[in-house]
Amino acid sequence: MNVYIRGIGTYLPEKIVSNHDLAKQIDTSDEWIWSRTGIRERRIAAEGEHASTMGKRAAEEAIRNAGLSPDDIDLLVVATMTPDFLFPSTAAVLQAQLGLRNVPAFDISAACSGFLYGLEVTRHLLQSGTYRNALLVGTEKLSSVLDWQDRSTCVLFGDGAGAVVLSQGATGIIDVLLAADGSNPDILYMPGGGSRMPATEASVAHRDHFLKMNGREVFKVAVRAMEQSIRDILDRNSININDIRYFIAHQANYRILDALAQRLSVPMEKFPVNVDRVGNTSAASIPLIMKEMVDDGRLKSGDNVVLVAFGAGLTWGTSLLKWKDSREMP
Ligand code: ACO
């Protein structure tokens, strides 16, 4: 059974924080951030906004753009590394906020690869025939886990949400390839707050409830893993790399995209970029940029598109899509 993306929605918080704004608070500069990452500014959630409320805004737009109503949704999957709570799931919270029927709702924890992990799980559940229309939401309030005294990490991330409605019907998602290597989880992690290190005065004083990252290591592994993953998915579907219209990559860092494009010998024009305006938004990153490309007409029916992401875990993955403009559906 074929599964396709029937509608997309996104949400970005209003507040824009530029590199110059950050340079007033920490020892950094627009020049350093721009040259190392390609980021100029990011959005930061307001007080009272969190993963579920941002996800709700994106999901409502996705349902509308799919030409459906909340009653039509029969499965809800949320990808996030910044859930409202450790439990219950953000998906359960969102089910009620969206006024969905009592449909199954669960979270996926795969950090920046979360949207691709969600795509794979969701499409198979739709293909099973049990569900007809699924809502997949990537939503992140990364500002809540950033150490605003750590200039090596806080400049990289932003908040936002993206959502897609996936439906049975047309060819859209051709393949998904996922992978993980958890042998060095501390390459990118948050040490405190889980069962291994519950919150104590000492853990708070030690700033263990913030994201920690070995940026150089992540960079190296990310480029190698995404390159191999793209080559593998194209090989197993017998598609030539030149027949791919766009490589829509997780927006972590312009230099990572540039290195990936070079290793694949693909022109940078085929790698859309919005990291300059939103920073790294983890599981929201791919739907956020896809929506821009739908709105400005870059994505056209029939385009072969590769999605690719990597994130904490480490996890990574790729998907091969045949883009289908849902406005052309019967
Ligand atoms: N402003 C100014 N100077 C800084 C800043 C900053 N914001 N941050 C670090 N520096 C300094 C460092 O202290 C260091 O100074 P020193 O040489 O005096 O010690 C110097 O800049 C170089 O630091 P490096 O960490 O070596 O810088 P690098 O060139 O490697 O760039 C970066 C760092 C941008 C983080 C890069 O390694 C990178 O992009 N890595 C990938 C990270 C990533 O994409 N993570 C997301 C993963 S996705 C997910 O799952 C969330």
The whole-angstrom separation of Cα 51 and Cα 82 is 7
Q: Are 66 and 34 in contact (CB under 8 A)?
A: no
Angle at 64 between CA 274 and CA 45, to 5 degrees: 45
In terms of Cβ atoms closer than 10 Å to its own Cβ (0-12, 13-18, 19+), residue 263 is middle
Instruction: Find out if CATH 3.50.50.60 is the number for domain 3-170.
Output: no
Residue 219 CA, ligand 1 centroid: distance in Å: 10
Residue 315 has pLDDT above 90, yes or no: yes
The percent of residues above 70 in pLDDT, for the chain, comes to 99
Instruction: Name the one residue in this structure whose structure tokens are 């579907």.
Output: 237
The whole-angstrom separation of Cα 290 and Cα 164 is 10
What are the sequence ranges of the domains in the chain? 3-170, 175-324
Residue 166 CA, ligand 1 centroid: distance in Å: 37
Q: Token digits for 28?
A: 């950094």
- Listing DSSP states for 16-73 in one string gives EEEHHHHHTTSS--HHHHHHHH---EEEEPPTT--HHHHHHHHHHHHHHHTT--GGG-
pLDDT of residue 227: 98
Annotated catalytic, 209? no
pLDDT of residue 178: 98
The whole-angstrom separation of Cα 200 and Cα 188 is 21
From the CB of 253, is ligand 1 less than 6 Å away? yes
Residue nearest to atom 35 of ligand 1 (CA): 215
Mean pLDDT within 85-108:
98
Are both 3-170 and 175-324 of the same fold?
yes
pLDDT in tens, 290-305: 999 999 999 999 999 9
Residue nearest to atom 23 of ligand 1 (CA): 152
Annotated catalytic, 280? yes
Residue 189 has pLDDT above 70, yes or no: yes
| Euclidean distance between the first and the last CA atom of the chain, given in angstroms as a whole number | 17
Residue 328 has pLDDT above 70, yes or no: no
pLDDT of residue 1: 77
pLDDT range class, residue 329, cuts 50, 70, 90:
low
Mean pLDDT within 40-49:
98
Residue 157: beta bridge partners? 280
Mean pLDDT within 131-153:
97
Q: Which atom of ligand 1 is nearest to the CA of 216?
A: 37
The percent of residues above 90 in pLDDT, for the chain, comes to 97
Mean pLDDT rounded to a whole number for the chain: 96
Annotated catalytic, 112? yes
Q: Is the pTM of this model over 0.75?
A: yes
- Listing DSSP states for 147-185 in one string gives -TT-HHHHTTB-EEEEEEEEEESS--EEEEEEEE--S-G
Catalytic position from the list 50, 65, 250, 253: 250
Residue 135 has pLDDT above 90, yes or no: yes
pLDDT of residue 116: 98
Catalytic position from the list 19, 50, 112, 133: 112
Residue 213 has pLDDT above 90, yes or no: yes
CB atoms within 10 A of CB 269: 8
Pocket test for ligand 1, best of 36, 143, 278 (most atoms within 8 A of CB): 36
Residue 217 CA, ligand 1 centroid: distance in Å: 10
In terms of Cβ atoms closer than 10 Å to its own Cβ (0-12, 13-18, 19+), residue 245 is middle
Residue 146 CA, ligand 1 centroid: distance in Å: 14
Strand order from edge to edge, sheet including 304-311: 173-180, 315-322, 304-311, 246-249
Residue 316 has pLDDT above 70, yes or no: yes
Instruction: Find out if CATH 3.40.47.10 is the number for domain 175-324.
Output: yes
DSSP letter for 85, please: S
From the CB of 215, is ligand 1 less than 6 Å away? yes
pLDDT range class, residue 327, cuts 50, 70, 90:
low
Mean pLDDT within 125-152:
97
